[in-house]
Amino acid sequence: MEHESSVDLQFLKNTGDGFLAVYRTMTHAFSIGWDFLNTTPCAWLCTGV
């Protein structure tokens, strides 16, 4: 399943501690960020692991 913002994705790099994504528009960048935060367990965000 692809996220609706994937059509606007310009660059994606996965690293050992996260990822970097570059989008053409801020709308799509914020959309994927918002969805990521809404689907990520709070414990992971609070501990920074």
Output the pTM of the full model. Answer: 0.59
According to DSSP, the residues that pair with 20 across neighbouring strands are: 13
pLDDT at 1: 63
Domain-embedded: residue 49:
no
Domain-embedded: residue 12:
yes
Dihedral (CA of 10, 19, 46, 43) sign? positive
For the chain, 49 residues long, give each residue's pLDDT as a single digit of tens: 677 777 888 999 988 887 888 999 998 888 888 888 888 776 555 655 5
CA 40/CA 10 separation, integer angstroms: 23
The tokens for 11 are 């660059």
CA 1/CA 13 separation, integer angstroms: 19
Domain-embedded: residue 48:
no
Count up the domains in the chain and report the number. 1
> Residue 25 belongs to what domain range?
4-42
Name the phi and psi angles at 10, rounded to 5. Answer: -100, -35
User: Residue 6 gets which letter from DSSP?
Assistant: G
